[in-house]
Amino acid sequence: DAGVIQSPRHEVTEMGQEVTLRCKPISGHDYLFWYRQTMMRGLELLIYFNNNVPIDDSGMPEDRFSAKMPNASFSTLKIQPSEPRDSAVYFCASRLTAGSEQYFGPGTRLTVT
C-alpha cells in the first residue's frame, strides 16, 4: 500500500482565498483523522471520522473550517476564507478499527500571506 496520501504537499495562498486540502486514507482503514501542527500549539487533532461519518469535530477552530468524507477513500479539509494564522502543516492519518496505531500522511504545508 502507498500509505496515506495527501495533496497538495505545499500550498501558498493569499488571505481571504479558499483552501482545500485532500487526503486518501489507507485502503480498508475506517477511521480518518485531521491534525494541524504549529510551533506554538504543537500537534492538534481537528476532527475524526469513523466509516465516513464525522464523530468528533471539537478541535475544529471555527466555522471557517469544514471537513467532509464523501466516501471511504477520500476526505477534504476546507478553509474559507483563509487567514495568516491558519498557516501550519496539516496532517491526515488513518487506522483500522481493530488496530491501534495511526498511520500519518506526509502533511500539507499551508502558508497564507
The contact set with other proteins (CB under 8 A) reads 4, 31, 42-45, 48, 50, 55-56, 91, 93, 97-98, 100-107
Q: Can you read off the three cell numbers belonging to residue 61?
A: 477552530
Q: Which is nearer to other proteins, 31 or 74 (CB)?
A: 31
- CB of residue 106 vs other proteins: minimum separation in angstroms? 6
Question: Dihedral sign, CA of 109, 34, 87, 112?
Answer: positive
Q: Which is nearer to other proteins, 54 or 106 (CB)?
A: 106
Rounded CA-CA distance 72/87 in Å is 28
Close Cβ partners of 63 (under 8 Å, ≥ 6 residues apart): none
- CB of residue 83 vs other proteins: minimum separation in angstroms? 23
Q: Which is nearer to other proteins, 56 or 83 (CB)?
A: 56
